[in-house]
């Protein structure tokens, strides 16, 4: 009599089973996207638990994101607990950072901290570096704080403390950076703080200086697991190697074609070195892809095959060919967002859950047009791994200026920006001003213009009073222009004359560029509104809609954040030269940068199960300027047999424009029908309305269309111009439907 197969083995293919059941010892699973690496890793953990080879507390499992760690923990515990044992708990599953922090909190005194040390976020770190440069009298023009910070981070990626830097690198920038690095580390210590890099570097130091503690952890962790191994940097690698040195039960899974963190110090060499570091290691390859249908996999494999430096592998789709990759050609970013969102409505008509739909962008600045479109169509969405557009600091700062211009009593807005950029009006001045304003019953802005006699008793000095006056005068100047200038011009004036844009332009950090991009995006949004008040109302509403929770949502995130995830339908917009591949990667790292961008493209494509859409626009607003765009070279690398080009529709009122060819000049975009709006609708047709959702047309009378809406059921008569025609319920595949005005 044979025992029933363990639940975690169900459905696994023979190679996967070998990985799961392999005896102890070093194990590397090196395989392409969607081959079940994560699933196999989880099953192996469950197997160890279920067979009693390890207890939950003896397993260290590191993954890339907190979300992935949580999922892995839930799945493994469930698998293993299902066997009847129950109560299995993986207490050491998390990210490298969280595991490092956990170890360090136990031994904080040995690395010169107290156990409640703070972990500084990126902006705190940069501020610290900036202050240090300043006190060292280093001209920020010659040594931008962001650059110094970047160099320190890269050293930490390699686990190099100040006293371990190779001498030739010490000389860089006249040896000044190393001094700053030293001062930075001292300062962290004084603050009882650590940055992300320290969480591993200090751990390594701890292990080196206190071998008995290392031994304790080596004994504790009988088995170590690592997902997304291709993205580990040197510090993480050394950390793993030390912890696994005794038991040698290290199981790593990864894919060289998905390495996308080279810019943050990830070393592909770590994968290649595995066999050397762990002699006798078992290396298993998986080749069956269970995630994507044939055309998607064919396209993704073809793109990555253009990279020179790769191990090379075959991937076989387990599903049929499925739908072709659809190419959405748009006129500009807004048009692209509209087309994408209409495709999403179509997918929803076909019963694809919004939770199973994702838009993956190369740069966060691309997100806004999608957000606006979602709001317009009342499509619920979530942003993974980042703030939504109107929640970003730089956007909220400018909104605060605009609010104060529209509404001088808005003290909250006043407080937010009175010293942004720095005007020498710190917390103390604002405190005094608040006192004076309260005494006089005035708003903070009005209080700035009070007579000195009323201001001085609060403790304000003449210099501060002068600065407050200047600030108030500037806001008043803006306010005087508010009805005469188009909103876009007003907002631009605010950004420039307040010094706000200059502040970011001079910051020179990688995130500063993103912020400038976002500000340019914001100006574009302003261009769509007639009045300041109208815009502010829109923003307030956006915030409110965003506060609502629950229900299905479309996911919007960067390609980097999408690693390891999968969705039924994936949209990859903005595949244009300069955006994807990104110009920054090309200019900074040349061919290496291009290959990393290509891996990123490959990661994006392989997130899709059954529907993949790639978008590109003919024009795009970049840093506030309209630029003609060329389709990404990656599009041309997808063999034509896997691609279907969606017909190019002209936006209403637009002249046809000549587009750069995607592949070869042969195929032509179909022209679009310019029918009377109402003739698009006939009885039985499907339609979408931004408030009432989807429904079926029950009557057409001139421009008036009566629709029976699905949910909640109701019948309404609506002007055709406010409806979007959806493909008919039973129509297959024809996703190129016509849109009418909004
Ligand atoms: P990535 O490289 O993108 O991280 P991966 O190799 O980790 O991918 P998984 O996420 O583990 O792949 O698996 C991809 C999909 O295939 C999942 O939905 C998983 O459940 C499914 N899958 C894996 N193995 C099998 C199998 N043997 N039979 C059926 N489905 C499978
Ligand atoms: Mg995975």
Q: Over the range 119-132, which residues count as b (16 or more CB within 10 Å of their CB) and which as e?
A: ebeeeebbebbbeb
Q: Ligand 1: which residue has its CA nearest to atom 30?
A: 290
Q: What is the pLDDT of residue 652?
A: 39
Pocket test for ligand 1, best of 7, 14, 38, 39 (most atoms within 8 A of CB): 39
Contacts of 500 (CB under 8 A, 6+ apart): 397, 398, 401, 420, 421, 494
258 is annotated as an active-site residue: yes
With the C-alpha atoms ordered 151, 153, 157, 161, is the resulting torsion angle positive or negative?
positive
Query: E-assigned strands of 656-723?
Result: 686-689, 693-701, 704-709, 714-719
Please report which ligand is nearest the Cα atom of 63.
Answer: 2
607 is annotated as an active-site residue: yes
What span, in angstroms and rounded, lies between the C-alpha atoms of 433 and 466? 12
Cis ω on the peptide bond leading into residue 581 (within 30° of 0)?
A: yes
Return the DSSP state at 319: S
Strands 686-689 and 118-119: unpaired
Q: Ligand 1: which residue has its CA nearest to atom 2?
A: 33
What span, in angstroms and rounded, lies between the C-alpha atoms of 263 and 228? 16
Please identify which of the residues 15, 16, 35, 37 carries the catalytic annotation.
37
Please report which ligand is nearest the Cα atom of 610.
Answer: 1
Expressed in angstroms and rounded, the spacing between residue 561 Cα and the centre of ligand 2 is: 13
38 is annotated as an active-site residue: yes
694, 688 contact by CB (below 8 A): yes
Beta-carbon count within 10 A of 663 CB: 15
Expressed in angstroms and rounded, the spacing between residue 227 Cα and the centre of ligand 2 is: 7
Q: Ligand 1: which residue has its CA nearest to atom 11?
A: 36
Tokens of 218: 């080596």
Structure confidence by residue, pLDDT tens digits, 132-186: 888 888 888 888 888 899 899 999 999 999 999 998 888 877 788 899 999 999 9
CA angle 693, 695, 698 (to 5 degrees): 145
Expressed in angstroms and rounded, the spacing between residue 37 Cα and the centre of ligand 1 is: 6
Q: What is the pLDDT of residue 318?
A: 87
What span, in angstroms and rounded, lies between the C-alpha atoms of 729 and 727? 6
433, 444 contact by CB (below 8 A): yes
Beta-carbon count within 10 A of 117 CB: 22
Local structure of 93: helix, strand or coil = strand
Q: Ligand 1: which residue has its CA nearest to atom 4?
A: 564
37 is annotated as an active-site residue: yes
Half-sphere exposure (CA, 13 Å, Cβ side) for 235? 24
Ligand 1: residues within 6 Å at CB?
11-13, 16, 33-39, 255, 258, 290-291, 564, 566, 606
| pTM exceeds 0.85 for this model | no
What span, in angstroms and rounded, lies between the C-alpha atoms of 377 and 371? 10
Q: What is the pLDDT of residue 580?
A: 95
Expressed in angstroms and rounded, the spacing between residue 253 Cα and the centre of ligand 1 is: 12
Residue among 736, 730, 652, 729 nearest 694 (CA): 729
Q: What is the pLDDT of residue 602?
A: 97
**Which atom belonging to ligand 1 lies closest to the Cα atom of 39?**
11
Expressed in angstroms and rounded, the spacing between residue 706 Cα and the centre of ligand 1 is: 46
**Which atom belonging to ligand 1 lies closest to the Cα atom of 35?**
6
Expressed in angstroms and rounded, the spacing between residue 289 Cα and the centre of ligand 1 is: 7
| Average pLDDT value over all residues in the chain | 85
Q: What is the dihedral of CA 135, 136, 141, 143, to 10 degrees?
A: -130
Give the CA distances from residue 423 to residues 449, 500, 599, in Å, rounded to whole numbers and listed in that order: 17, 11, 45
Please report which ligand is nearest the Cα atom of 257.
Answer: 1
Residue among 675, 678, 713 nearest 694 (CA): 713
Residue 627's DSSP bridge partners are 620
Expressed in angstroms and rounded, the spacing between residue 34 Cα and the centre of ligand 1 is: 5
Pocket test for ligand 1, best of 36, 231, 316 (most atoms within 8 A of CB): 36
671 is annotated as an active-site residue: no
132, 180 contact by CB (below 8 A): yes
Expressed in angstroms and rounded, the spacing between residue 342 Cα and the centre of ligand 1 is: 29
Spell out, as residue ranges, where the chain has pLDDT lower than 50.
Answer: 1, 83-85, 546-549, 650-657, 664-675, 729-742
What span, in angstroms and rounded, lies between the C-alpha atoms of 28 and 271? 9
**Which atom belonging to ligand 1 lies closest to the Cα atom of 32?**
2
What span, in angstroms and rounded, lies between the C-alpha atoms of 632 and 639? 14
Please identify which of the residues 15, 77, 202, 228 carries the catalytic annotation.
228
CA angle 367, 561, 66 (to 5 degrees): 130
437, 446 contact by CB (below 8 A): yes
Return the DSSP state at 81: I
In terms of DSSP H, where are the helices of 549-612? 583-605
What number of H helices and E strands is found in the chain? 28, 24
Half-sphere exposure (CA, 13 Å, Cβ side) for 735? 25
What span, in angstroms and rounded, lies between the C-alpha atoms of 520 and 392? 13
Give the CA distances from residue 268 to residues 36, 101, 124, 234, 302, in Å, rounded to whole numbers and listed in that order: 21, 25, 30, 10, 21
Please report which ligand is nearest the Cα atom of 300.
Answer: 1
Please identify which of the residues 75, 326, 524, 607 carries the catalytic annotation.
607
Tokens of 623: 């840093």
Tokens of 172: 């860089």
Please identify which of the residues 195, 198, 227, 332 carries the catalytic annotation.
227
């Amino acid at each position: 009599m044979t025992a029933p197969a363990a639940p975690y083995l169900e459905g696994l293919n023979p190679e996967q089973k070998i990985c799961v059941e392999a005896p102890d010892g070093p194990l590397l699973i090196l395989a392409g996207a969607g081959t079940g690496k994560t699933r196999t890793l989880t099953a192996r953990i469950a197997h160890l638990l279920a067979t009693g080879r390890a207890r939950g507390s003896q397993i260290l499992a590191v993954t890339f994101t907190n979300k992935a760690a949580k999922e892995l923990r839930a799945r493994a515990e469930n698998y293993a607990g299902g066997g009847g044992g129950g109560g299995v708990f993986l207490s050491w599953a998390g990210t490298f950072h969280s595991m490092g922090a956990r170890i360090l909190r136990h031994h904080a005194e040995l690395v010169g901290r107290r156990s409640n040390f703070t972990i500084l976020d990126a902006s705190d770190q940069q501020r610290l570096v900036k202050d240090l440069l300043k006190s060292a009298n280093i001209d920020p023009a010659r040594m931008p704080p962001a650059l110094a910070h970047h160099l320190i981070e890269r050293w930490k990626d390699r686990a190099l403390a100040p006293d371990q830097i190779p001498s030739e690198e010490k000389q860089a920038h006249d040896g000044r950076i190393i001094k700053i690095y030293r001062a930075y580390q001292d300062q962290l210590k004084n603050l009882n703080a650590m940055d992300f890099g320290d969480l591993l570097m200090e751990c390594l130091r701890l292990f080196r200086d206190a071998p008995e503690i290392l031994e304790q952890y080596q004994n504790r962790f009988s088995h170590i697991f690592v997902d997304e191994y291709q993205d580990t940097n040197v510090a993480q690698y050394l950390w793993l190697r030390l912890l696994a040195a005794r038991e040698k039960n290290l199981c790593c899974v990864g894919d060289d074609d998905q390495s996308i963190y080279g810019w943050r110090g990830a070393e592909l060499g770590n994968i290649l070195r595995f066999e050397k570091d762990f002699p006798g290691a078992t290396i298993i390859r998986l080749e069956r892809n269970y995630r994507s249908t044939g055309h998607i996999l064919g396209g993704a494999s073809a793109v990555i095959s253009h990279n020179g430096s790769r191990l090379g592998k075959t991937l076989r789709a387990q599903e049929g060919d499925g739908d072709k990759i659809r190419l959405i050609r748009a006129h500009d970013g807004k048009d692209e967002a509209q087309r994408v969102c209409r495709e999403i409505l179509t997918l929803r008509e076909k019963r694809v859950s919004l939770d199973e739909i994702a838009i993956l962008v190369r740069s966060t600045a691309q997100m806004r047009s999608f957000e606006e479109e979602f709001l317009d169509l009342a499509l619920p969405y979530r942003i993974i791994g980042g703030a939504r557009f109107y929640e970003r600091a730089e956007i909220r700062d400018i909104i605060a200026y605009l609010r104060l211009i529209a509404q001088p009593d808005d003290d909250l807005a006043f407080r937010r920006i009175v010293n942004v950029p720095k005007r020498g009006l710190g917390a103390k001045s604002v405190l005094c001003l608040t006192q004076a304003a309260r005494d006089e019953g005035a708003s903070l802005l009005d209080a700035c213009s009070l007579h000195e006699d009323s201001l001085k008793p609060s403790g304000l000095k003449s210099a501060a009073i002068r600065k407050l006056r200047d600030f108030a005068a500037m806001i008043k100047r803006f306010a005087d222009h508010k009805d005469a200038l188009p909103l876009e011009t007003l907002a631009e004036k605010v950004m420039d004359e307040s010094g706000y844009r200059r502040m970011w332009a001079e910051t020179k950090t990688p995130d500063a560029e993103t912020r400038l991009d976002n500000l340019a995006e914001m100006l574009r949004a302003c261009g769509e509104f007639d009045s300041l008040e109208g815009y502010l109302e829109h923003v307030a509403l956006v915030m409110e809609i965003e506060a609502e929770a629950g229900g299905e949502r479309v996911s919007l995130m960067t390609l980097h954040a999408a690693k390891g995830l999968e969705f039924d339908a994936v949209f990859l917009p903005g595949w244009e030269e300069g955006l994807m591949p990104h110009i920054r990667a090309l200019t900074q790292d040349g061919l290496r940068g291009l290959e990393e961008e290509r891996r990123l493209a490959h990661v994006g494509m392989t997130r899709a199960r059954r529907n993949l859409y790639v978008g590109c626009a003919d024009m795009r607003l970049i840093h506030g300027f309209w630029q003609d765009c060329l389709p990404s070279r990656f599009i041309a690398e997808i063999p034509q047999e896997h691609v279907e080009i969606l017909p190019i529709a002209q936006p209403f009122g637009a002249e046809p424009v000549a587009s750069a060819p995607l592949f070869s000049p042969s195929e032509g975009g179909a022209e679009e029908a310019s029918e009377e709006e109402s003739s698009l609708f006939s009885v039985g047709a499907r339609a979408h309305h931004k408030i009432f959702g989807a429904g079926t047309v029950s009557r057409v009378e001139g421009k008036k269309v009566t629709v029976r809406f699905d949910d909640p059921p109701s019948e309404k008569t609506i002007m055709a111009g406010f409806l979007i025609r959806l493909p008919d319920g039973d129509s297959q595949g024809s996703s190129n439907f016509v849109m009418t005005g909004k």
